[in-house]
Amino acid sequence: MFSKETYIQRRRQLKERVGSGLLLFLGNDHAPMNYADNTYSFRQDSTFLYYFGLDHDGLAAVIDVDGDREIIFGNDPTIDDIVWMGTQPPLSEKAERVGISETLPLSRLAGFVKGKQVHYLPPYRGEHQVKLQELLGIAPAAQAAGASIPFIRAVVDMRNHKTAEEIAEIEQAVDISVEMHLAMMRMVRPGIHEAEVRAAVTAIAQRGGGDISFPVIATTHGQTLHNHGYIHTAQAGDMFLLDAGAEVASHYCGDLSSTYPVSGTFDERQRVIFDICLNAHRTAVAALAPGVPFRDVHLKACTAIAEGMKSIGLMKGDVDEAVQAGAHAMFFPCGLGHMMGLDVHDMENLGEVWVGYDGQPKSTLFGIKSLRLARPLEPGFVFTIEPGIYFIPELIDRWRAEGRFTDFLCYDAIDKFRDFGGLRNEEDYLITPDGCRRLGTKYKPMTPDEMAAAASLE
C-alpha cells in the first residue's frame, strides 16, 4: 500500500476528470473453488486497489463528486470472522490509512445509490453482475453497454500513466520475474517435466509475499500461445518456452518470456528462427519513443519476421504487401505487446479499445485483431514487447486448403517446419520523455550465449 496521500491525490484527480455524478467501485469477494469456504487465493479488483488501497474482500466504495463525499462500504469483522481469520482492525481504521474518513455498513449501499445517476465500470465477475442488478436494477446482459464511458476513460488515462512509485513496484515485479526465468534456464534439461518448472518458478514468485501475475506457461509446445497444460517431459532437441511473471504484494506485475533449448544449444533450424525473432524484438525496441503509435512498432516487428521468413524461403513476394495483407500472421498470429501494471494485461476488463486504442476501432484482420495496444506511446506507459514465431500445424493446413496468401507463403517449405513448435521472447518497457527504458534492475538473458552463460551459473 502507498501512503494515504497517493490515494487522496488519485481520487481528487478522478473527481476533476469525471466532473459530476456518483462513482461506484465494487471490490472483489472471495471466489469459491468447489464450495464456499474453499476459495481461490483472493485477488482484489485493481481499480479498487488503485483508488482505495484496501486489499480484502467484502468492500465497495462510492465517490459522490457533487457532494464531495468519499465512502467505503463494508462490515466490521464479527466474532466468528475473528475466530476463523484472526484479529482485524475495524473498517474505519483501515479506511483512515487510505485517507477515507467516512465508512458505512454494506447494507447501506443500496439505499445510498437508489434513484441516483451512477457511473459504474464494466463487470467481469458474476458477483459484480449480481450486485449491479441488485443495486441499479440493470440486467447482466445490459450491464456492459450501460457502463460509464467518462468513468472508464478517466480511470484508463490515470492508470495508463505510471508514476515513479508505481514504476518502482513494477521493477520489483520484473526483477522477481527475471529470477523465475533464470531458474528455468538453470533447471531445464532432457527428462524434466513441464510441471516441475511451473512449480519452481511459482515458488519464486510466491516467496517474496506476492504471487504469479497470470497462470504460468511452461511448455515444450510453444506454438500454442497460451498453453496452460503441464503434461510433457522435455526431450533433447525440444525448445522450452516459459512465459511467466511475478506480481508483488502491492499487486503490480511483471511479464517475461524466454525460449530455452532443452539440450543446452539450439539446432541449426531453431537458431535461425530464434535469431529472426530476436531481430524482430530489437527492431521493435529501437522504434519505441513518445508519439510513435504502437501499431507501427508492431508492424515493424511483423515486417522483420516476414523478411526473415523470406530470407529462408518460407515467404516470397513483397514483404510490405505481405504484412499489409496479414500473411505473416501464419507465423505471428498475435500482438507485439500489451499494457502492464496492476493487471498483467492492464485494465483489459475496462476494454482494450479504451486502454490500447484510445477509443479508435480495432482491426478485425486475423493477426492484428489480437493487437492489444496500438495508440501513440506516451511517457509513463508500461507495456510488454513479445514477438514470437509459431508453426501451428492446423493453421498451416487450413490456410493451405483455403489457398490463402499463395503470393506470399511458400507452403511446401513451411510444411517442413510443421513439427517445429514455437518460440517467444518478452521484456517489459517504460516510455520516458525522450525514449524508452527496459524495466527491471536485473537483466533477463536474451541471446543464446547469454542464456547458456546464465544456465551454467549455480
**Of 214 and 230, which has the nearer Cβ to ligand GLY?**
214
Look at strands 60-64 and 102-104 and give their pairing.
unpaired
**Of 21 and 335, which has the nearer Cβ to Mn ion?**
335
Site membership for Mn ion, residue 307 (CB under 5 A): no
Cα–chain center distance at 448:
26
* Closest of 37, 107, 53 to residue 75, by C-alpha: 107
- Of the CA atoms within 13 Å of residue 265, those in its CB half-sphere come to 3
Site membership for Mn ion, residue 428 (CB under 5 A): no
Instruction: Please answer whether residues 446 and 425 qualify as being in contact, where contact means their C-beta atoms are separated by less than 8 angstroms.
Output: yes
Least CB distance to ligand GLY at residue 255 (A): 5
How many residues of this chain interact with ligand GLY, rule: CB under 6 A? 4
Q: Please, what is the end-to-end C-alpha distance for the chain in angstroms?
A: 34
What is the CB neighbour count within 10 angstroms for residue 164? 7
CA 46/CA 37 separation, integer angstroms: 23
**Of 283 and 384, which has the nearer Cβ to Mn ion?**
384
Least CB distance to ligand GLY at residue 303 (A): 22
Least CB distance to Mn ion at residue 338 (A): 6
**Of 138 and 217, which has the nearer Cβ to Mn ion?**
217
Q: Which residues contact 2 (CB under 8 A, 6 or more apart)?
A: 53, 165, 250
Site membership for Mn ion, residue 384 (CB under 5 A): yes
Helix (H, G, I), strand (E, B) or coil at 256: strand
CA 10/CA 126 separation, integer angstroms: 28
Segment lying near Mn ion (by CB under 5 A), choices 73-81, 170-178, 253-261, 322-330: 253-261
CA 310/CA 414 separation, integer angstroms: 11
Span 250-269, contacts to ligand GLY by CB under 6 A: 255
Least CB distance to ligand GLY at residue 441 (A): 21
Site membership for ligand GLY, residue 214 (CB under 6 A): yes
x-or-dash pattern for ligand GLY, window 318-347, by CB under 6 A?
A: --------------------x---------
Question: Which three cell numbers mark 10?
Answer: 488519485
Site membership for ligand GLY, residue 224 (CB under 6 A): no
Least CB distance to ligand GLY at residue 215 (A): 9
**Of 300 and 338, which has the nearer Cβ to ligand GLY?**
338
**Of 169 and 255, which has the nearer Cβ to ligand GLY?**
255
**Of 214 and 411, which has the nearer Cβ to ligand GLY?**
214
How many residues of this chain interact with Mn ion, rule: CB under 5 A? 2
Site membership for ligand GLY, residue 243 (CB under 6 A): yes
Cα–chain center distance at 392:
23
Helix (H, G, I), strand (E, B) or coil at 31: coil
Residues linked to residue 390 through DSSP beta bridges, in sequence order: 422
Q: Cell match 533447471: residue?
A: 187
CA 429/CA 436 separation, integer angstroms: 7
Site membership for ligand GLY, residue 411 (CB under 6 A): no
**Of 143 and 160, which has the nearer Cβ to ligand GLY?**
160
CA 374/CA 244 separation, integer angstroms: 23
Segment lying near Mn ion (by CB under 5 A), choices 53-61, 139-147, 276-284, 378-386: 378-386
Site membership for ligand GLY, residue 238 (CB under 6 A): no
Of all helices (H) and strands (E), which one includes residue 316? Answer: none
Residues forming the site for Mn ion (CB under 5 A): 255, 384
Residues forming the site for ligand GLY (CB under 6 A): 214, 243, 255, 338
